[in-house]
Structure 1
């Protein structure tokens, strides 16, 4: 039997340790000994009312202890970063080989674990936005893991980026990365060629009003947990011909994007912003702090023996 974290349904202590059989990988899966994992804020919401059988954990790094039976993916002994569908907050997890990438010695497990969901989201979001060189970009909800990656990658691609954060402290690192930081959408100096909107509620229509005629708004989240209301007549009075595009990062394979992210970190072009690193015994407290926005960037939990 091995330990894993399971949902409790208790908002104050969202997970607890339990004994479980060691994961059994399918033919196209590798068995990974987890060294580090990184929760995402969206997972904290799922834990409030967990569905039956839900096992949290989508971002992990560790060591392959059993290679896939079909011969695909990394060999036994390989250090890897992975993006399983669920179940990564455990000592061992079976991961499809299309959702793994090998780690070089220069990228440690903690930084690697901070990459998958937020990093893949950032890469795919920026591909959706198209070429950003010389373009004005507005990013809302910018102080989380996705926001840090989008900021660094977009500025590196030549964008003039304005980032919206709730407080000056949460915007400090984004300013260091080259963003202009404001603390409400109304303070952003438009118009913008592209708006990347992740908070929903009243922020989306406010951001939409700042898009240039013919520009693009990509809606990729609702972190405020407040539904959006759009008034058709307000739209008529705003910029003409704006495209509103829904975005969701999901869609396998994830391995190539993970490998691209690892390469960016290895070559000092992407720097995971880790606001907390702690042993996995502190996962419940960390989840509460992540949910309540008391952690800037990513949180990483260590199971022990990380490299």
Structure 2
């Protein structure tokens, strides 16, 4: 079968190659991939790929071989899945605990845009606890996670301030429910009960300074790719008893499949809107990855496989 494999070359990070078709484990289904999405964090990993790396975590397509242990869909079914690797290919083995069946109202392209960004947003807000009536600051809001967080948090009753440099992206975030959009973190008024910080570098101490007394800052990324420095005494003089929490989306007690089903249901009900900023054939994956790395894609980038 054909699959995209890393090259280590930033100018052309992946190429199509012939690889063996995956052999599913007992609790895995074989999915004929119709579409997949790529994530900015994956572009960083592609800069120094390990031997044998097979990228791809977000897939949507058809189950063509059910799991041998009887779990998951029993026959041909449209699904969205979140394997840990190997999704940028014609076929992918996906654990049954990491997939959800798609209803007719959700397209394959929409589904492919859900897994990593949607799971991160859903679980980030779960980690934050109830947000009804709380003031929330979200940095790096123009990407896929930012769109989902904004819509989910606003729907749950949060007063969201979204930070994005792009005016057009800010307008869309306002449509999704952001109460305020600022183009520079320094313009965020504060204080905020909850700060969701994904940029790192100098943004982290600035965001922390805007955290309310006994507020929480959840640090879930470093998209700026710059280390952060925090001064203990400045923190001590700032928000009293504030909490800084590290977040990783896989550290959650809910099965991936259950949360994928929630994202699918919300999309089918029109309560969650996957933002697909780029839709292209998978032959163009290398150039799409470059544009994503350089922040030239708003929302999610989705690639279709073999004209699907």
TM-score (norm 2): 0.98
Partner of 1:100: 99
State the partner residue of 1:81: 80
In structure 2, the residue matched to 1:5 is 4
Question: Which structure 2 residue ranges, 5 or more long, are not aligned?
Answer: none
What CA deviation, in whole Å up to 9, does each residue of 1:278-302 have, x standing for no partner? 0111100000000000000000000
- Report the secondary structure of 1:249's partner residue: coil
CA distance in 2, matches of 1:25, 1:73: 13
Per the TM alignment, residue 53 of structure 1 is displaced from its structure 2 partner at its CA by: 1.4
CA contact (8 A) 2:281 2:307 kept: no
Question: Hey, what does 1:129 align to over in structure 2?
Answer: 128
The secondary structure found in structure 1 opposite 2:2 is: strand
Aligned residues: 305
CA RMSD, Structure 1 to Structure 2 (Å): 0.9
Once residues 166 and 257 of structure 1 are traced to their aligned partners in structure 2, the CA distance between those partners, rounded to angstroms, is 30
Q: What corresponds to 1:281 in structure 2?
A: 283
* Segments ≥4 residues shifted beyond 3 Å: none
Cα deviation, 1:231-271, whole Å, max 9, x if unaligned, reads 01111211110000000001473100000000000000000
- Name 2:17's counterpart in structure 1: 18
After superposition, the C-alpha distances for 1:122-166 in whole angstroms (9 at most, x for unaligned) are: 010001111111110000000000000000000001110000012
Q: After superposition, where does 1:215-254 map in structure 2 within 5 Å?
A: 215-251=215-251, 253-254=255-256
Contact 2:79 2:99 survives alignment (8 Å): yes
SS of the equivalent of 2:38 reads: coil
Q: Give 1:305 deviation, angstroms.
A: 5.4
Residue of 256, 262, 268 corresponding to 2:258: 256
Deviation of residue 118 (structure 1)?
0.5
In the alignment, which residue of structure 2 is the partner of 1:46?
45
Q: TM-score, normalised by structure 1?
A: 0.98
Q: Distance in 2 between matches of 1:265 and 1:169?
A: 23
Q: Decide which moves more: 193-202 or 163-172.
A: 163-172
Q: Is 2:171 the partner of 1:172?
A: yes
CA distance in structure 2 between the partners assigned to 1:151 and 1:108 by the alignment: 22
